[in-house]
Structure 1
Amino acid sequence: MAQKVDSEKWVISQRWVMAVMGMMGVTMAYVMRGCLAITITQMVKPVVNTIEKVGQKDLEYCPMPYVPQRQSNTTSTHYEEDTSSRFDWDEETQGLILSAFYYGYIITHVPGGLLAQRFGGKHTMGLGILSTAVLTMFTPMVARMGSTQLMILRFVEGLGEGTTFPALCTLLAQWAPPLEKGKLSTLVFAGAQLGSIFANSISGFIIHFVPGGWPNVFYFFGGISMVWFVIWCLVVYNDPLSHPFISDHERNYLLQSIGSIERKKDLAPTPWRHILTSAPVWGLIVVESGHDWGGYTIMSDLPKYMSDVLHFSVKQNGFLSSIPFIAQWITSITSSVLADWTIKKQYMSVTAVRKLYAAIGTIGPGLGVMCASFVGCDKVTATFLFTLGMALMGFCYPSIRVNALDLSPNYSATIMALVNGIGCLSGMATPYVAGLLTPNRTILEWRLVFWIMLIVMMASSVVFTMIGSGELQPWNDIETYEKRKIGQEKDESQKNYQDSKPTSAYDTSLKKPN
């Protein structure tokens, strides 16, 4: 017996294998959607130096850095692309290209959630990432056809990726024990920050050093995502019961802690009426929309701000744009451990933890970004404030990212589809809004963009604090809930009937006279 227990220590935990592979999948998804944000700064014609515009305040424009003319040097390995071949796309067109992805992304959320509930999350997610990978590799060719064609391609990419989060919720509902829900879920969804980190840093490195320039970014990330798909198919399974390599110890632990380790294939029809009339669900939708407004503003527009306003080079831009996401990733992991520990020790209720962390993760980033716009052209301080704000956004991951599992494990995929789908309306709006509001690319114009971001995030946090919840909703088991409700109605009906029965005196008075 002792030998068997010792051998169990060396068995790889399959729930953590699923979580790590899920994290890598989210990383691939965010890399492929996010790499265009920094790459587009090298795809379009460079910004004309507007520092000498008449009548403008000094703080509106940062001075262009002095770059000495580089003499011809045949030994240099630095590759410079001829800027005359770049695309002549204005700010509004760039905003439409960046937002086109989310028009497709929103469409497949609910279908993806229903498919994940019916067939499991493994292939629902895997095939979505694979389709995005293939289309990513075609991006350079399509971009040369024109901006409209690139918008269409990005729209179709969004259709493939829309299944990602609903599918992951289905997997986590079967693999994440209650006391590890925060850590496992945060690890999976923290792939979003890793994707943004790699999209910015590696893209900048490839553009700067690899001959061929920006097209190599799409070839590299598309190819890596295909490799991930093959590994995903080999090592991940829909639920512990169907997993051929899971240990008996882990399977029994998941059975005892979760209550069911087999994905329910015969779920009752989705209780749409209960979901759509649930105040906690709408609280989650609102706060997710606010979070996404800030997240997409930073992910899509921070590289443009650092390039157009602060005038960082592409190499500097790639590295510095990734620093805020590194901070966010670290904070999300540490805050998830703290959240699970707080709940386990019963220092705070699940609802209190979710609300507190959501407030920190929404208001903090808005304030950080707003402060960054008030330091003018101080690159170091601006980068620090962007980093501080995004670090605080990491608190959202053990709160609003986990909340769908709190409310209803059985229908978490559908809830996540609604929440993330409606939330990604922000992804459709923010690049376009930023493009409209920053035609001259000045600090004052960008400050208005950041003011809007702060107001939206604060308002969403207030709504979630008022109506959000971390408790399991009664309609999670809809059949039992409906039976109990019918039983209560019968009991109430019988009670009303007994109360309305005539008394004996009244009965006597109703007798016919002789």
Structure 2
Amino acid sequence: MLTGWRRILNRVIFIPQRYVLGILGLFALANSFTMRVCLSMTITQMVLHPEASEHIVGETCPDPDWAGVVNNTIEETTIPSFQLERRVKYDWSEATQGFLLSAFYYGYVATHLPGGILAEKFGGKWTLGIGLLCTSIATALTPLAVDLGGAVGLFIIRVIEGMGEGPVTPAFVLLLARWVPPSERSRFGAMIFGGAQIGNIFGPYMSGLFLADNGDWANVFYFFGGLGIIWFLFWVLLCYSTPNCHPFISDEEKMYLNKNVTASGLHKKLDPVPFKAILRSPQLWVLVLAAVGHDWGYFTMITDLPKYFSDVLKFNIKETGLMSALPYVAMYVCSFIFAYICDLCIKKRWHSITTGRKIYTTVSSSLPALFIILASYSGCDRVQAVGLFIASMAFMGGFYSSVKINAMDIAPNYAGTCSAFVNGLAAISGIITPYLVGLLTPDQTIGQWRVAFWTVFAVLVATNLVYLIWGSGEQQWWDDVDKLGYPSNWKHGPLKKRTQDLEKKVVHPKHDHSPIHHD
């Protein structure tokens, strides 16, 4: 019966299954980012704000909507009685808010490497799916956690959300390494990881609508948590870890992928992760630095840009949602443009994979750094500031054709572990930047924010320079020792214990117990 259904699906479903994976991957990243960034919007309505009388001429912008607010509270007549308890404003300092905004990344960093290892052992499908399901449930429980524990409850539930999302990136990089040929990687990287920008667009915009007119902030968490649970059901039914275990992939697509996908893990069981070589790989550490730089700028934008629009430029909450979404519309559109150009140039051999990764790392780091600084000097000119932030995020779209997928280039077989290592360490930026911005901007003045943006500029440019000098897009020897062999300067013994034991038995069965060095 089951075999008959599979045959029918094989004939009826004409969409290549790697595109089904790509589409559901897009929705996965979109929903994961809505759950990640929604607190950036809701926290602006959960806390007390400085009174307008404290406005410092030349340092803060005037609030055009202040006339409707008295002593930091909204008139009770505009709030339904059943929402009064929810309308309690929390007296959290800027530093405390920064600490709460960074809480997600404590869990996110902690589960990256375990998530990558689990994905390689059990498959990307379940590692990713169960992780996002946990995040979705925790998101829906956020209002309850705040009611019960205040700031402490919010911190704990955000850490749990981060733990669920930690395996997402390494699992997706591994899935792409198993499903996507090298000539399509930039395209699929933009499709799936560009879903983050859909989340950054949809999350603030929908949050603004929910929060407008004194809407209950709890509805934001219920909505996005519920969407994540619905996504999980489709993911379980339609996606699989490799083409060879997919029940209704076409024979033509399976043959094409088995012929063109470079990861040997698609065809055989992988050896244990070669941590001894990975941790000594300069190419991996350079990629870590590039990812740290990008994430420093990117997380500052997704976490703190809503606060800048709300507290500095004084957009109301509905306008803040729209203005916060616009830069990510630009980033999403440009990510596909950069991906198409990059894939085309690699396919036509106009430049190498390494050159392409370096070009778009520069596009996604140094150019955004420049526009962020220009935006910080635009003062209270809302149009100019928003325009410059849009330009900065548009160029960050090159990230999905460079740093985000570079782990697949240097280690297609161990892409899950390497991506977990890279993204896990880079995500420490998400812990540091919200708290640092909170410390640097206690009064929410333009001058204080300018210092924060100069910090972003310095990190983006410095890490980009390091990647330009030492970055690589070539498969590293330790990813497939059987095919590529050991480098001449490798002095740390064999990577595979069973290879060592086999050679002892066959080549030197009685006398030779020396370590094996491969050419």
The answer to whether TM tops 0.5 is yes
- Aligned equivalent of 1:107, options 99, 107, 110: 110
| Whole-Å separation in 2 of the counterparts to 1:37 and 1:313 | 14
Amino acid at match of 1:33: R
**Aligned-pair CA distance for 1:248:** 1.1
Matched, 1:291 2:299: no
| Whole-Å separation in 1 of the counterparts to 2:301 and 2:263 | 40
1:189 alignment partner in structure 2: 193
Matched, 1:159 2:163: yes
| Whole-Å separation in 1 of the counterparts to 2:380 and 2:486 | 64
- Aligned equivalent of 1:171, options 175, 179, 184: 175
2:425 alignment partner in structure 1: 422
In the TM superposition, what whole-angstrom CA distance separates every residue of 1:276-305 from its partner, at most 9, and x where no partner exists? 111111111000000000000000000000
Residue 369 of structure 1 aligns to a residue in which SS?
A: helix
Matched, 1:300 2:299: no
State the number of aligned residues: 477
**Aligned-pair CA distance for 1:142:** 1.1
Distance 1:248 1:488, change over 3 A: farther
Amino acid at match of 2:242: D
2:477–2:485 contact (8 Å) kept in structure 1? no
Counterparts of residues 340-359 of structure 1 (less than 5 Å): 340-359=343-362
Q: Percent identity?
A: 42
| Whole-Å separation in 2 of the counterparts to 1:10 and 1:227 | 22
Distance 1:176 1:67, change over 3 A: same
2:7 alignment partner in structure 1: none
| Whole-Å separation in 2 of the counterparts to 1:487 and 1:87 | 58
Matched, 1:87 2:90: yes
| Whole-Å separation in 2 of the counterparts to 1:285 and 1:407 | 13
Matched, 1:24 2:17: no
The normalised TM-score by structure 1 is: 0.88
**Aligned-pair CA distance for 1:46:** 2.8
**Aligned-pair CA distance for 1:484:** 8.6
Residue 52 of structure 2 aligns to a residue in which SS?
A: coil
| Whole-Å separation in 1 of the counterparts to 2:491 and 2:379 | 64
In the TM superposition, what whole-angstrom CA distance separates every residue of 1:67-103 from its partner, at most 9, and x where no partner exists? 555999x9999x9979961111110110110101111
In the TM superposition, what whole-angstrom CA distance separates every residue of 1:12-71 from its partner, at most 9, and x where no partner exists? 110010011111111111110110001100111133225544xxxx33111111555599
Point out 4+ residue stretches in structure 1 off by more than 2 angstroms: 7-10, 50-53, 66-72, 74-77, 79-84, 259-266, 478-489
In the TM superposition, what whole-angstrom CA distance separates every residue of 1:389-413 from its partner, at most 9, and x where no partner exists? 0100001110111100000100111
Distance 1:308 1:484, change over 3 A: closer
The normalised TM-score by structure 2 is: 0.87
1:199 alignment partner in structure 2: 203
Matched, 1:119 2:84: no
Counterparts of residues 106-505 of structure 1 (less than 5 Å): 106-144=109-147, 145-208=149-212, 212-258=215-261, 263=266, 266-481=269-484
1:268–1:479 contact (8 Å) kept in structure 2? no
Amino acid at match of 2:162: G
Range 295-304 or range 274-283, more displaced: 274-283
| Whole-Å separation in 1 of the counterparts to 2:18 and 2:183 | 13
**Aligned-pair CA distance for 1:480:** 4.5
In the TM superposition, what whole-angstrom CA distance separates every residue of 1:456-475 from its partner, at most 9, and x where no partner exists? 00000000001100111111
| Whole-Å separation in 2 of the counterparts to 1:135 and 1:474 | 41
Distance 1:208 1:478, change over 3 A: same
Residue 58 of structure 2 aligns to a residue in which SS?
A: helix
1:132–1:157 contact (8 Å) kept in structure 2? yes
Amino acid at match of 1:330: V
1:241–1:262 contact (8 Å) kept in structure 2? no
Range 431-440 or range 83-92, more displaced: 83-92
**Aligned-pair CA distance for 1:478:** 2.9
| Whole-Å separation in 2 of the counterparts to 1:218 and 1:157 | 12
2:58 alignment partner in structure 1: 59
| Whole-Å separation in 2 of the counterparts to 1:326 and 1:9 | 34
2:179–2:242 contact (8 Å) kept in structure 1? yes
1:254–1:261 contact (8 Å) kept in structure 2? no
1:303–1:321 contact (8 Å) kept in structure 2? yes
Range 373-382 or range 251-260, more displaced: 251-260
Amino acid at match of 1:279: P
**Aligned-pair CA distance for 1:204:** 0.4
**Aligned-pair CA distance for 1:160:** 1.1
Amino acid at match of 2:185: K
In the TM superposition, what whole-angstrom CA distance separates every residue of 1:261-285 from its partner, at most 9, and x where no partner exists? 8746631111112211111111110
Larger radius of gyration: 1
Residue 59 of structure 1 aligns to a residue in which SS?
A: coil
**Aligned-pair CA distance for 1:113:** 0.6
1:239–1:261 contact (8 Å) kept in structure 2? no
2:182–2:262 contact (8 Å) kept in structure 1? no
Residue 237 of structure 1 aligns to a residue in which SS?
A: coil
Residue 403 of structure 2 aligns to a residue in which SS?
A: coil
Range 35-44 or range 250-259, more displaced: 250-259
| Whole-Å separation in 2 of the counterparts to 1:486 and 1:128 | 40
| Whole-Å separation in 2 of the counterparts to 1:410 and 1:30 | 27
| Whole-Å separation in 2 of the counterparts to 1:89 and 1:345 | 55
1:271–1:478 contact (8 Å) kept in structure 2? no
Amino acid at match of 1:185: G
Amino acid at match of 1:192: A
In the TM superposition, what whole-angstrom CA distance separates every residue of 1:405-459 from its partner, at most 9, and x where no partner exists? 0001001111100110000010000000000011110000000000000000000
Distance 1:242 1:10, change over 3 A: closer
In the TM superposition, what whole-angstrom CA distance separates every residue of 1:181-211 from its partner, at most 9, and x where no partner exists? 11012211101111111111010011115x7
1:365–1:389 contact (8 Å) kept in structure 2? yes
Range 407-416 or range 253-262, more displaced: 253-262
Distance 1:158 1:265, change over 3 A: farther
Range 322-331 or range 248-257, more displaced: 248-257
Cα RMSD of the aligned pairs, angstroms, is 2.7
In the TM superposition, what whole-angstrom CA distance separates every residue of 1:283-333 from its partner, at most 9, and x where no partner exists? 110000000000000000000000110000000000000000110000111
Residue 146 of structure 1 aligns to a residue in which SS?
A: helix
Amino acid at match of 1:415: C
1:42 alignment partner in structure 2: 45
